[in-house]
Structure 1
Amino acid sequence: MRHEPIGCREFVETRTSRRQILQIGVLGWLGLGLADVLKAEGSGRGLPIKAKSVIFLHQFGGASHHDTFDMKPDAPAEIRGEFNPIASNLPGVQVCELLPKMATVMDKVCLVRSVNHRTGAHNSATYYSLTGHKPLIDIVTANATATDFPAYGSIVDKLAPSPPTIPTAVSLPTMIADGPFRTPGEFAGFLGKQHDPLFILKDPNKPEFSVEELSLPLEVPTERAGDRRAMLSELTQFARLGDQLSAVKGMNAYQQRAFDLLTSPETQRAFDIHSEPESVRERYGRTTYGQSVLMARRLVEAGVRFVTVYYSPNIGGWDTHKDNFNTLRDSRLPITDQTLPTLLEDLDERGMLDDTMVVWTGEFGRTPRINKDAGRDHWPQCYTILMAGGGLKRGYVHGASDASGAYPKSDPCTPDDISATMFHCLGIDPATELRDQLNRPIPVSYGSPIAPILA
């Protein structure tokens, strides 16, 4: 991981002048809409804005491409597994038989079947997945630090934020960790805590989930809500987002910003999931994951630019070293098949899919060969990422894996390229440099946009 000493300053170099940056900020504070801010921002960088927002669905643990979107029915039984493929509405593209609803929306998506890297531990591979920056070494026990490269949403918050009454980046419904070690890549790292995503660590599927509950830390009694100073004082004790992050610079700024955002009418309306028709809630699925994805749709509809939903170990996860097929059959695939196609259809019906990018990925795939425990182990050497909307082609497959799904056969790409593609569509030049706290220049992505998948 990146474990550089903490320095004393950071700033951003882009193709936008300081004056233009200030002008963009003034536009937001004057109350102009997100489209106006994006227009000003995009014109400064010379990149068109194809994706106003990104919904990043992270399948923590790593979903098996063999059992979802890149099946190998002609491979030996110890590779192809127990599931059969079915045809989708995209000619020539098959999906797992347990994803029948997904089969009806494949004409809306872009499959990238040749993603690969060599980072095999959950925490460090997830860092790669959530930041687009390869860790220096593959450390099994990696933990989040203040010198990590920032999460995607934190970079967007720095370079292209939402209007001030709406958070730029939100993560829900849990944080993620491999054992006792807080997974790096979830936070703002060297940008400082004021750019951390707003974490919503409540289950939106619970009847008691409420906007009022989000407005107040549990430690702050409701009767003290009117005492702003008292609340901010209590927040000092509440806002500890990681094992060793309470002393990170920007904590006070984060507290103030989190309070302002959670109490703004715009944010509260976005989080009021009970205002959704019951039929819509049922359509997404009355599970923690289903309602979190519905919340993500509500948030981007309100102007949030980057929402991360973790399918984490807290709600199951995808780390199927044992009993892979029963686990996928009983929960993971049925939940995915209800929630993911519903999101794509809902966004399309609302006219939002063309400018909202959806990314469905894990930190790696699973081994081609089934192990002795009827499971599949970690496999970063080749896996599939599903993307849709926000400036990408519909009904397109990029790259291919070999006959056993072990290695890319054509058009290999890396998480760096995925990140560059997202930033490009968001109107952020991937070559834009951040300066870390030792004033060292680091581009937001070392990758290149995957040109064939761009619309």
Structure 2
Amino acid sequence: VLGNAKDAFDTTREDAQTKAAYGPGLGEQLLSARRLCEAGCGFVMLNYGWAPTPSETPFAWDMHLGPSQPNAPAMKGQLESIFPMFDHAISAFLTDVEQRGLSENILLVVTGDFGRTPKINAHGGRDHWPGLCTLALAGGGLTHGQVIGTSSTKAEYPTSSAYEPKDLMATLFHVLGINPAMQANDFNGRPNYLLPTGAKVISELV
């Protein structure tokens, strides 16, 4: 890694008050992410939940549970161990970005790769569920302070504004100034598209 991005990984350059505000674990990652954005990185991805530091719980969001954790209280305890750090770190990041005048230029997307089953499984956990997945966005010059869409009473399926992953990607491309409909031809002249057919920007956000 060359140039300013290399220095961005060195969080010892931050003052003690800023580092304390972010906190450990996810906070450390988000502090590095902010520094990378300031250094000119166009895309930064973090993974919270696979214990990148000793202060985090391994497999934090992977709550199938099993014979070693055979009941719902185990899942409750897992959530109680990760939510405070998550809440604190995200709040610190958004506050810091706002104070630095970067909130219009940095878009934070908080999402997983799918939802979790509405029903508890035999071990007191939840499994993979493709029917509905919630996410949160902040910054990036989008219109915030709103909840987009509704779901069934058990969070099984969307009942309005049924956006798909390709629509999220179209929205991200919009923020980055990339035409979602852009195509490139391969060596045989066949078109390759950035996104699947029908991808659309989430209209409530722009």
* TM range, smaller chain: 0.7 to 0.9
Larger Rg: 1
Structure 1 residue corresponding to 2:121, chosen from 368, 371, 377: 371
Change over 3 Å in CA distance of 1:271–1:400 after alignment to 2? same
8 Å contact from structure 1 (residues 396, 453) kept in 2: no
2:35 pairs with 1:298: yes
Q: 3-state SS of the aligned residue for 2:142?
A: coil
How many angstroms does 1:393 deviate by? 0.8
Q: Which residue of 1 aligns with 2:63?
A: 320
Give the TM-score normalised by structure 1: 0.40
What do the CA deviations read for 1:246-268 (whole angstroms, capped 9, x no partner)? xxxxxxxxxxxxxxxx243x223
Q: 3-state SS of the aligned residue for 1:388?
A: strand
8 Å contact from structure 1 (residues 325, 374) kept in 2: no
Q: Which residue of 1 aligns with 2:200?
A: 448
Q: Which residue of 2 aligns with 1:345?
A: 95
What do the CA deviations read for 1:18-67 (whole angstroms, capped 9, x no partner)? xxxxxxxxxxxxxxxxxxxxxxxxxxxxxxxxxxxxxxxxxxxxxxxxxx
Distance in 1 (alpha carbons) for counterparts of 2:186 and 2:98: 39
Q: Which consecutive aligned stretches of 4+ in structure 1 deviate over 3 angstroms post-superposition?
A: 434-440
2:156 pairs with 1:406: yes
How many angstroms does 1:357 deviate by? 0.7
How many angstroms does 1:282 deviate by? 1.7
Change over 3 Å in CA distance of 1:436–1:282 after alignment to 2? farther
Residues 275-286 of structure 1 correspond to what in structure 2 (within 5 A)? 275-286=13-24
Give the TM-score normalised by structure 2: 0.86
Distance in 2 (alpha carbons) for counterparts of 1:359 and 1:453: 13
Change over 3 Å in CA distance of 1:294–1:436 after alignment to 2? farther
How many angstroms does 1:295 deviate by? 0.3
What do the CA deviations read for 1:225-257 (whole angstroms, capped 9, x no partner)? xxxxxxxxxxxxxxxxxxxxxxxxxxxxxxxxx
- Length, aligned pairs only: 190
Structure (1 or 2) with the greater strand fraction: 1
Distance in 2 (alpha carbons) for counterparts of 1:336 and 1:436: 43
How many angstroms does 1:278 deviate by? 1.5
Residues 116-127 of structure 1 correspond to what in structure 2 (within 5 A)? none
Q: 3-state SS of the aligned residue for 1:358?
A: strand
Distance in 1 (alpha carbons) for counterparts of 2:85 and 2:185: 41
Q: 3-state SS of the aligned residue for 2:92?
A: helix
8 Å contact from structure 2 (residues 11, 32) kept in 1: yes
How many angstroms does 1:273 deviate by? 0.7
8 Å contact from structure 1 (residues 356, 389) kept in 2: yes
Structure 2 residue corresponding to 1:387, chosen from 137, 162, 180: 137
Q: Which amino acid aligns with 2:143?
A: K
Structure 1 residue corresponding to 2:47, chosen from 310, 314, 325: 310
How many angstroms does 1:269 deviate by? 2.6
Percent sequence identity over aligned pairs = 38
Q: 3-state SS of the aligned residue for 1:329?
A: helix
8 Å contact from structure 1 (residues 433, 444) kept in 2: yes
Q: Which residue of 2 aligns with 1:145?
A: none
How many angstroms does 1:449 deviate by? 0.3
Change over 3 Å in CA distance of 1:268–1:394 after alignment to 2? same
CA RMSD in angstroms comes to 1.6
8 Å contact from structure 1 (residues 390, 425) kept in 2: yes
Residues 22-421 of structure 1 correspond to what in structure 2 (within 5 A)? 262-264=1-3, 266-287=4-25, 289-315=26-52, 316-317=58-59, 318-322=61-65, 323-330=74-81, 332-421=82-171
By relative contact order (CA 8 Å, sep 6+), the higher-ranking structure is 1
2:161 pairs with 1:423: no
8 Å contact from structure 2 (residues 109, 137) kept in 1: yes
Structure 2 gap segments, 5+ residues each: 53-57, 66-73
Q: 3-state SS of the aligned residue for 2:47?
A: strand
Distance in 2 (alpha carbons) for counterparts of 1:268 and 1:313: 24
Distance in 1 (alpha carbons) for counterparts of 2:179 and 2:142: 17
